[in-house]
Each structure stands twice: as C-alpha cells, then as structure tokens.
Structure 1
Amino acid sequence: MQRSFLHRVVKFGVEDLNAFITVLRSRVWRVELQRRGASKKTSAAVATLGRPPIVPRSAGFLLCGVFPVVKAWSPWVKKKKGGEKEDEDNKNQTTSRSNNSSSSPLRLVDKKDKQLRVDIAQADEWFESGNTANYEKAFDILMLHLEKREPEVLWRLGRLTYEKSKVAQTKDEKRQRIEEAYDLVFKSMTIDEKNFAVHKWMAILLNELSTFKGIKDQLLTSVNVKRHMLRAVELNPEDATSIYLLGVWCYSVADIPWYQRKVAETLFAKPPECQFEEAYKHFLRAEYTQPGFYSMNLLMLAKSCVKTGDMEKAEQYLWKLQKVKVKTQDDFMAKKEGKQLREKLFKAGNNYSTTGESAEQEKT
C-alpha cells in the first residue's frame, strides 16, 4: 500500500496530492458503506471526505452572484417531440428517468458503467421524493462513484450539498456548504462544459453565494449568472427550470431599486436591463414546457402579473398555487408568500376580478 501510494504521488505530481488523498478517503468510505449498507444516513459525509479537487476560481470566473436567491432544482425535462434529431454530443448516451417519466440524457465519461447508471437513477428517484432522509441516501450512493470524476456524479453531489445548506444551523455553516456545492459543480463543468444541468447549477450557486457579498459584487457577477442561464437553455431548450431562472433574473433586474441602479451605472457602460413583461414571458414559457413543475414559478407568474397590472391573471395563479401539495420547503415558502400576497391584494372590498376559484370552475 505504501509503495502504491508513493508511486501514485510521483505519477500525478505533488500538486495532485490532495486529489489522491480524496480518492483514498472515498475508497475507505465505499468499503464502510458496503459494510454498513448504503442506506445509512451520512450527515457528516462532506466533512469526512473533504472537498474534492477543483480548478482555481481565478480561472475565468468571478465568484459572486445576483439578486434574490433562486431555489429551483429539478433537472428533468420532457422528451423532444416528433423524434427530433439529437445533438451529436448526446448520441448513444443513456437516459435517466424520474418518477414522472420525464427524461434527460446522461453524459457519462464511461458509457459502459452500468452500475453507475443504475445508482444515478436511484439517487434521482430519492431526490425527486423531496424527503430529506432520502437526500442522505442519494448522497451516499453517489459517493461510491466519487473517484470516477464523472460530471453527472459531481453536479448531483453539488445539488445535494446545496440542499444540506438549507438546514445549516449557522451562517458560516451555510456558506461553507454552498461553497462546497459550488466547487463540485465547477469541477463538473471543467470536465463537461456541454452539460446543461451544470450551467443551471452554476447560475444557482453563484446566485446563492452572492447573498454573502455586497451589492457591487452582485452586480458585477450578474453577467456571468445570466450567461450560465442562457447556456443552459441553449443546451436544453426544454428544461423548465433553466427557463424559470431566466425569468427570475429578468424580474430581479426589472425590480432593482434606484440606488442600486446608480451603483450599476458606475460599473457598466450599459447596465443590465429587463422588463417585467419579459420576465412574465419566461415564467409562462417554463409553465407551458412543464406544467406544475415548480411552485415558485406559479408565485413568480402571479408577482409578474401584479407588476404589469393584470390582477385577474395574478389572482388565478395565486389560486392555483394554493392547490399545490406541499412536498418541499420551497413549496411551503411559495404557498406562504402567495397566501400573504393574495390576502393583501384581494381582501374584501378590493376585488379586481372574479375569484380564482370561480375562474377555475368556469374552465371546467
């Protein structure tokens, strides 16, 4: 073992020593999981393994974020209609399926690794359940493949690490988890830049990291965040979540207060611009692409309608939102904010239109 260790260090070089140590840790963890069973909870898995090797952040990306926090996560999209020809890079790729029979092509380095495909499918099923205990099981099973450095594994580990940040007890712990998630997704992007899910999560995590920085840093990175969103939509125009993120970006830019616009004018020759109408179009397109995919999209549709003065549509979206079954923390928060908005705008004596309930009845 000692000779093998020294041989690997010499082979990879001193700069890759941390990477080799990470591989050793993951192998030890794999043996332990096999002994205990991969379904055991591993709340300290990230701390135990250490952060995976990453490309330095100075390599072409500004580490900031933009505006309100984005909470979307679903990587699933519907199959293309009419047997459209797939992109050359997606040919012969395997497919991972979610509970609702939607699919997204797996871009594996080792296309012959059948066990990896099975484990990814299982991890995705656990993730889609919205159960935090299942998140731990999904994390465990993906950790078995960490040393393979598969982009599809790395960004999924990043996604799960981000979920861990939502239950962090302190601000420092939350930031550490988000940074770990970013590192995993960034590494995935350096291996496979053409994976739409990687760009989607780069946008989400850059945005999340921005909450720990000032307005200036947020504005400076807004260009990078939007670039990742556009790239995600370009690579997969049928992914509702990526389209939703574009809508959030546009809504946020349109909603920038005057004092932040003054800061933007000092940083950009031409500050980012967008209108609420454009944001609404993105949210509407996302909903059309995958109806009911995300409760927050219904909330943003309603808020966009309020901004543009279309109270009748706003009330209908808010009514639909209240019918959503709560499965995740985001569902709870969306319904809570939606209820508050509905009570504020459509309380007794301030009815802009027929109620959302009656509108639904008219449709049926």
Structure 2
Amino acid sequence: MEKDLKIADRLLEEKKYDDCIHFLGNLHNKTNPEVCWRQARVMFMQLHGGTTKPTKHEARAQLTTALDRIHAGLVTDGHNADCLTVGGSPISVHPTNFYCSQWNGIIVDHLSKLEGGNERTKTAFKTHDLWQVSITRTNTPPSRAILFYGLICLIFETDWSIDQRLNTIGNPVQSAYHNTYSVTMELELKEADKLVQEDKYSECVIFLGSLQDKNNPEVCWRQARVMFLQRGCVQISRTYTTLFPVDKASAKPGKQEVRAQLTTAMERIKVGLDADGNNANCLTWNGILIDRLSKLEGVNERIKNAFKIHDLWQKALEIDPKNYLANNCLGIWCYEVSDLPDIKRSLAKTFFTKPPTSSYEEASALTYLNRCEELAPKKLVGNLLTLAKCHYRLKNKDQARVFCQAVMEFKATGYDVIETQAEAKHLLKKL
C-alpha cells in the first residue's frame, strides 16, 4: 500500500491528474482513508490545475464526487457518528485521519463557495470546526488546517459584507489575522521539515507548492532543499534529528536529471532572494546550487564561480554565524582550494588576476569545519571526511584516523554515503 500511495503522490506532483485518478481507482482497498483523501485531493487539484476554468456545474459535480470519497474514508475511519450536514451530506467532525478531516473541510468550503457568500457564511463555523479538529489532532502535522482557518479568518476580518451577514447568525468569528498568519507560517514550515525528515520528498514538494505564500524566502529555500535532496546530493546521519536526511536511493541519478532538478531549485532560490536578499539560508543554498551546477559543467566552470560561492557563504555566516551548513560549505571550499593541484592552479590564473587561495590550518578550513561539528556533531558526512583529509595533509594521523572512523560508522544509506565511505576507507590505508 505504501508503495502505491507514493506512486499516486508522484503522479500528482507531475500533474498527471487523469492517470492518478485512474491509478487510485484501480487499487484493491478503495475505502482505505489514505486512498480516499488522495482521490479527493486529485479531483480538487484537477479542477484548479486545468488549462480552462470549469463551469460551476462541472465544479459542483467534481467536488461532490470528491466529498463522497472523503465520506467513504471517514466511514472506514470509524468515526462518522457525530455529523454535521452541508447540502444534505453528512460530515464527520471526529475523524482520526488528519488528511480526511483536512480535505473534508476544504471541499465543504469550496462547495459552499459555489453557492455564494450566504451559503459560505452559513457553513463557516462547520468548516472552522473541521479544521479545528485537524489542528488539535496529536502526532499529526496541523499546519495546513491552520492555514485554511487563517484564510477564513482573513475573509471575516476584511470583508465588511460577510461580517454583517455573520452578525445575523450570532456569535461571529473573532480573529486576529496577523497572529494567525504568523502561527500558520511557522507550523507550515515545521510540517515541511517533518516531511523531509521522514524522506517524504515528493509529498513535501507538493505541500510546499500548495502554500499560499510561495514567494516567502523560508518557503523558497525549503523548496530548493527538497529538490536537492531528491537527487541524493546530501547525505546525513539518521541517528540524529536533522533537517537534512538521507536519500534512500542507491543509484546515482544521471547528469541531465540532476541539472534539470537543480535548475528548478535555483529558480526558487532567486525568488526567495528577490524577496529578502539577506536570508542566510537562501544565500547558503544559492551557493550550494551554483557549486553543484558548476560541477556538472567541469573544472573550468567551477573555478570561474569560486569567489562567487565563497562570498555567498561568507555573507550567510555574517548574517547567521550559527548556520552550520554554511560553515561546512566554507570549510570544504577552503580545503579544496588549498588542495588544488598545480595544473588547476595554473588554470585558475586564466580567469583571475589573483586566483583563490586558502590553507588547511586553523585560520581557514579547520576553523569552519570544526565550527560545523560544534553546531551539528556528526550530522554531515562530508564534513567528517574533509576534517579527516585536512588532518592527513597536516600530518595529524591520529586525528585523521578518528574522523575516518566516524565516516565509516556513519549510519546512513545512499550513493553519496557509499562513495564517501569508500574514500575514507582508502584514506585509512594510508594512515
């Protein structure tokens, strides 16, 4: 079942709505709540993602079918006894399945919207209750429900005519939109981080893409991060709670596939930096993506961008000195510049009057690498390996051995970790 659900999520991410509907409709367990809410979701997305706007009749028919699927999921969920009624349809307000409850409220709200302001006002408290149930569920990501709750509060707060209609039904909703928005955004970001930690990259891409404030820098760098992680570009220990988990894929993706994904990620970073040029995480990921894309083009391109990426990471650290990823990036940059063979150093002279220079010592590479370890102990396998290499170059063999061993004991899977551990194993033979 889990594999089938991932296929459905991937089809939705690729906007293959008809294929997704057909695929979910052919699954054996059609009343499983996880299948039902996904069916409702794709029907909803199909309405909003088409090239032509559907008529009111078409939208009503599609959303009614979607609501039927939600009800099927709620029946299976076993908590449909306490119901509200919207247009003659029973609505469970006590489901245990977070997403069924969430999409229940979304679809009810959109159906009432088709009937006009009066109908939406009448159902306001009902949809509010559905989302509030989602918000109060334990061990579930509540933020999207809070988002819709916040949006409806915004409508009530800014639309005078709706406010007047609310007064006719008594006890109107009272809201402080700015506080709601702030809490909403914080929880949305936490949910995105949680999806990444659980390796649910496709789900995270869809989730971030559905947020209202897509140009928020905090959303943009997270979109870039998950696209980067989807290609297995970063590997992190699973023994620690971290924002950068392991890609389980063992196969290394093709160059064209990586280039396309990272280019899209770069576009999101540019949007984030346009909104806030001093966002430390946007600056850090901008440097990472430029560096990775340069690597795909070869040594010449990477050398050309050497100063640019250094300055991006340096600026990120000036803004946020505790940014361990920026410390890691600068540490590796300093090591690689220090370790440039003569032929590459000569090549660098063709691009710069003064080629980039650095050293292994405390003044540069080790300073950043050690700082990264202080902020995030044994989280980044690349940081551990580069520390081992630095100590090897400085002839600190005991220290080099310690960090090589840490790489070998790194609890993670994925092609990047395999390659890093192979390099550490080779280095150990020299010690």
**Which TM class, normalised by the smaller chain length?**
0.5 to 0.7
Match of 1:170 in 2: 254
In the alignment, the residues of structure 1 paired with residue 40 and residue 225 of structure 2 have an alpha-carbon distance, to the nearest angstrom, of: 19
In the alignment, the residues of structure 1 paired with residue 39 and residue 327 of structure 2 have an alpha-carbon distance, to the nearest angstrom, of: 35
Match of 1:286 in 2: 372
- Work out whether residues 146 and 154 of structure 1, in 8 Å CA contact, stay in contact via their aligned partners in 2: no
Match of 2:196 in 1: 127
1:40/1:178 CA distance change after superposition, 3 Å: farther
Amino acid at match of 1:295: V
- Counterpart check, 1:156 vs 2:156: no
Amino acid at match of 2:193: D
Match of 1:298 in 2: 384
- Work out whether residues 332 and 383 of structure 2, in 8 Å CA contact, stay in contact via their aligned partners in 1: no
In the alignment, the residues of structure 1 paired with residue 392 and residue 218 of structure 2 have an alpha-carbon distance, to the nearest angstrom, of: 39
TM-aligned CA deviation for residue 36 of structure 1: 4.2
- Work out whether residues 39 and 137 of structure 1, in 8 Å CA contact, stay in contact via their aligned partners in 2: no
In the alignment, the residues of structure 2 paired with residue 236 and residue 37 of structure 1 have an alpha-carbon distance, to the nearest angstrom, of: 40
1:164-313, aligned counterparts within 5 Å? 164-166=230-232, 169-277=253-361, 278-313=364-399
Deviation string 1:52-83 (CA, Å, 9 cap, x unpaired) is: xxxxxxxxxxxxxxxxxxxxxxxxxxxxxxxx
1:39/1:240 CA distance change after superposition, 3 Å: farther
Q: 285-294 vs 210-219, which deviates more?
A: 210-219
In the alignment, the residues of structure 1 paired with residue 416 and residue 381 of structure 2 have an alpha-carbon distance, to the nearest angstrom, of: 7
SS in 2 for 1:251: helix
Q: 281-290 vs 298-307, which deviates more?
A: 281-290
Q: Which runs of 5+ in 2 are unaligned?
A: 1-13, 22-33, 43-48, 51-177, 233-248
In the alignment, the residues of structure 2 paired with residue 194 and residue 128 of structure 1 have an alpha-carbon distance, to the nearest angstrom, of: 26
Q: Which runs of 5+ in 1 are unaligned?
A: 1-24, 42-47, 50-109, 347-364
- Asked which structure has the greater CA Rg, the reply is 2
1:128/1:180 CA distance change after superposition, 3 Å: same
TM-aligned CA deviation for residue 304 of structure 1: 0.7
In the alignment, the residues of structure 1 paired with residue 300 and residue 367 of structure 2 have an alpha-carbon distance, to the nearest angstrom, of: 28
TM-aligned CA deviation for residue 327 of structure 1: 5.3
* % identical equivalent positions: 24
Q: 308-317 vs 281-290, which deviates more?
A: 281-290
1:125/1:332 CA distance change after superposition, 3 Å: farther
TM-aligned CA deviation for residue 242 of structure 1: 0.8
Backbone CA RMSD of aligned residues: 3.2
1:169/1:159 CA distance change after superposition, 3 Å: same
SS in 2 for 1:271: coil
1:37/1:229 CA distance change after superposition, 3 Å: same
Specify which of 377, 382, 405 is matched with residue 319 of structure 1: 405
TM-aligned CA deviation for residue 161 of structure 1: 1.4
1:222/1:111 CA distance change after superposition, 3 Å: farther
Match of 1:116 in 2: 185
In the alignment, the residues of structure 2 paired with residue 35 and residue 150 of structure 1 have an alpha-carbon distance, to the nearest angstrom, of: 31
In the alignment, the residues of structure 1 paired with residue 226 and residue 371 of structure 2 have an alpha-carbon distance, to the nearest angstrom, of: 27
In the alignment, the residues of structure 2 paired with residue 222 and residue 39 of structure 1 have an alpha-carbon distance, to the nearest angstrom, of: 48
- Work out whether residues 229 and 245 of structure 1, in 8 Å CA contact, stay in contact via their aligned partners in 2: yes
SS in 1 for 2:321: coil
Amino acid at match of 1:339: K
After TM superposition, the score normalised by the length of structure 1 is 0.61
In the alignment, the residues of structure 2 paired with residue 173 and residue 118 of structure 1 have an alpha-carbon distance, to the nearest angstrom, of: 32
Match of 1:4 in 2: none
TM-aligned CA deviation for residue 147 of structure 1: 5.5
In the alignment, the residues of structure 1 paired with residue 217 and residue 381 of structure 2 have an alpha-carbon distance, to the nearest angstrom, of: 28
TM-aligned CA deviation for residue 212 of structure 1: 2.7
Specify which of 140, 144, 147 is matched with residue 206 of structure 2: 140
